[in-house]
Amino acid sequence: MIRLTGIDPDTHCLSFAYLDYDTERRKLVGLKVAVLKIAKGMTGKDAAQAMCQHPGLPEAVNRSGQYGALVVEGQDSVYTGKTNTGLTRDLIYLALVAGASMAMANQDTVYHPTPHQWKGSVPKHIHQCRTLNKAGIKYEMRGGKKPEAQYPVPLQFERFCLQDNVNAGDWQDINDAIGLALWGLDKYLRERK
């Protein structure tokens, strides 16, 4: 059995996905999700610091124990010829949260892929649908009227939740945590062949 934890870092709602994979049957046998949230109204550096010091962070990071792998989304900046100080600051705050998550990890294997490394250039809503399909989870699309504004939410999503504070809107980020864990699973299995 391998357990992988996927973490999609954010300064307001940190998303976790815990996958259990049976190596003998080569099958995903369990999925649970959780989120850590901070008080609304905090922004920027204050929000990042509050998330890094969230009392539930060490337990959430290490819920999977010391086997398997931890996969935390990395940050990447692409130069477009224009300077955007706000975006740069936001990336730094995300990096603080990602770094705090990795620093608390007890796992021997920790991956930190950039978004392009783990999901390529596929649009977010399409990649998230593929992620849930790969995990064998039936879903419905929610969100805006335009397809690119929608995101998949598992039917009866509550059965995957470790906490009562997870709502349908959180799945925009939880789906990425699941995708990160699945990417990590593929990498982990390839490295051990």
For position 143, which CATH number holds?
3.30.420.10
Range of the domain at 39: 2-191
CA distances from residue 175 to 22, 30, 50, 108, 110 in whole angstroms, order as listed: 21, 15, 23, 24, 19
The pLDDT of residue 66: 66
The pLDDT of residue 5: 96
Under DSSP, the state recorded for 167 is -
The pLDDT of residue 193: 80
Asked whether 33 and 174 are in contact (CB, 8 A), the reply is: yes
Phi, psi of 122 (to 5 degrees): -70, 135
Please give the Cα distance from 145 to 14 (Å, whole number): 26
- Residue spans of the chain under pLDDT 70: 66, 78-86
- The Cβ of residue 168 has, within 10 Å, a number of other Cβ atoms equal to 15
CA 91 from chain centre, in angstroms, equals: 16
The pLDDT of residue 79: 61
What's the structural domain count of the chain? 1
Asked whether 14 and 101 are in contact (CB, 8 A), the reply is: yes
Count of alpha carbons within 13 Å of 117, Cβ hemisphere only?
A: 15
